[in-house]
Amino acid sequence: MRAINKTAVLIVTVFFLFGCGDYRGQTSDSQKISFEQIKISEKDGDCDDPNSDYCAEIKIEYPVFSIPGKREIEKKINNFVRKEMLIPIFDGNVIDSFDDLVRYFFDEYRQFKTDIPDSYQEWIIERSGIVKFYNDDFISLGFSEYAYLGGAHPNHYTQFFVLDLNSGNNITLEDIFIKGYKPILNKIAEEEFRKLKELEEHEDLDNAGFWFENNKFSINDNFALGDDGVTFYYNSYEITAYAYGPTELIIPLAKISELIKEGGVLSEFMKQ
């Protein structure tokens, strides 16, 4: 067995306070919320040698929250983040910890190199959870993974979630918008999409290289909230060919003000 040259786990802690740059202003001292961004990085093999035929690398980054006075919600949100970060890389693995995630990754690579010793292939996984936006009421999170385990090109995937800071629950589009919102929101979002992609008003989407069901534009459920609006994210292969990459579509709040539910998490923005 080749000797393993493995870097030490690196943990970096960075503190951010809700209220610093918060769109809605500072919270009370008793409600200050902070998070630390944890980073884990490990390598197996001769990754520093550009001519090496043996290298596997995994990088993980995710937030851990502290919510004074709301410890049950804090626990719920941190468990949610942890669950998303510990999704198995390979089918059949049961992952209970970050140590398990890293160990299974390297075990699979070593087995691959044992089975195909002449392969010059390197493996890399970069998995991250980041805070995209926050205020007193909700947190918008983005979970992304970049993976290259062989093949024609790497794979990228991003999933957004919005969590309610008063319950720890997922916020859905139905929680944000009035009943019957979807046809109007689709129409507004399509206008923004066509601007983004430089398409004419009546240009055929299929002919332009986009894959929407029945050739009709539609929003998806992969969204984040912020002071700039609602962001919808379409991953590679979801609506167009891999070569064109993902699509991040921002719908400004001013465009959808009539659809925002009274008392919902976006209603306070409209009072500014």
| Domain residue spans of the chain | 15-164, 173-271
Distance CA 128, CA 144 (A): 5
Closest CA to 260 of 190, 194, 171, 192: 171
- pLDDT higher than threshold 80 for residue 4: no
- pLDDT higher than threshold 50 for residue 11: no
Fold match flag (15-164 vs 173-271): no
Q: What CATH topology corresponds to 173-271? A: Actin; Chain A, domain 4 (3.90.640)
| Predicted local distance difference test score (pLDDT) of residue 33 | 82
pLDDT in tens, 215-252: 999 999 999 999 889 999 999 999 999 999 999 999 99
| Predicted local distance difference test score (pLDDT) of residue 15 | 35
Distances (CA, A) of 13 to 38, 63, 82, 102, 125: 6, 9, 16, 20, 21
Structure letter (DSSP) for residue 233: E
| Predicted local distance difference test score (pLDDT) of residue 271 | 67
| Predicted local distance difference test score (pLDDT) of residue 239 | 97
Structure letter (DSSP) for residue 125: E
15-164: CATH, from 3.40.50.300, 2.40.50.100, 3.30.565.40, 3.40.50.2300: 3.30.565.40
| Predicted local distance difference test score (pLDDT) of residue 269 | 77
pLDDT in tens, 116-173: 988 888 999 999 999 999 888 899 999 999 999 987 789 999 999 999 999 999 999 9
Closest CA to 148 of 167, 125, 132: 125
pLDDT band at 272 (very low <50, low <70, confident <90, very high): low
Give the residue, 47 or 1, on which the prediction is more confident: 47
Structure letter (DSSP) for residue 244: G
